[in-house]
Amino acid sequence: MRKPLIAGNWKMNGTRANAGALARAIHDGAPFADVEVAVLPPFVHLPDVVAICEGGDVRVGAQNVADQASGAYTGEVSAAMLAEFGCRYALVGHSERRTHYGESDELVAKRFAAALAGGLVPILCVGETLAEREAGETESVIARQLAAVVEVAGDDAFADAVVAYEPVWAIGTGHTATPEQAQAVHAFVRQRVAQLDADHGERLRILYGGSMKAANAAALVAMEDVDGGLIGGASLVPDDFLSICRTAG
């Protein structure tokens, strides 16, 4: 059985005080039955959040990770640095990184491989734009994004990783994918990974992300291949996030 994962992507929000209060509220809301919970604060808030969550039930991760192990890469933060600070997860390939910062499939794949090499569990974000969906290209886009990772990280890429299906048209828009739309893509992702290794496909946790909130979380996580959620806006409101965590358990 796959244990669901609910991860809160705080994006570039909040002050140090806000981050501490949010982490404290989520830490205090634990334990969560049959669900793993993680928070992904901005880099500079990681030490505070890790200290608050230490010894508790809430895991911590980063919103991005360098594609290289160390050296002259100004502005980047390596997987080993994040692991040393108590991170377990790192997002890679969020659509905001792909869109606003021009991150290519290849760069995302290198970040993914570097996360694994540095001891982190990458959460690979994949997803199509509205235009791609309307053109019937959803599966080919997702297949391309997954294949780029396999090309760099190898056939075992998904042995210890998480995939988040985040349709770009659903992120921050209030237009959540229907449970059936999510399930169809999740099943496709699992089938692609299972073609490489049946066991990895079976074990892979595939999160849904894109305007997931307390009101729609239950129907989404009830789908066979939806193993939790990557939550943006609703992860900034403690009661909303805690309610999603309880729903997913």
| Residues belonging to the active site | 94, 166
If the CB atoms of residues 63 and 200 are measured against ligand PGA, the closer one turns out to be 63
If the CB atoms of residues 93 and 210 are measured against ligand PGA, the closer one turns out to be 210
Place of tokens 């009830």: 222
Q: What residues make contact with ligand PGA under the rule CB under 6 A?
A: 9, 166, 171-172, 209-212, 230-234
Shortest distance, position 71 Cβ to ligand PGA, whole Å: 30
> Which residue number has the CB closest to ligand PGA?
232
Shortest distance, position 170 Cβ to ligand PGA, whole Å: 6
If the CB atoms of residues 200 and 231 are measured against ligand PGA, the closer one turns out to be 231
Shortest distance, position 76 Cβ to ligand PGA, whole Å: 21
Shortest distance, position 171 Cβ to ligand PGA, whole Å: 4
If the CB atoms of residues 161 and 200 are measured against ligand PGA, the closer one turns out to be 161
Place of tokens 């790192």: 90
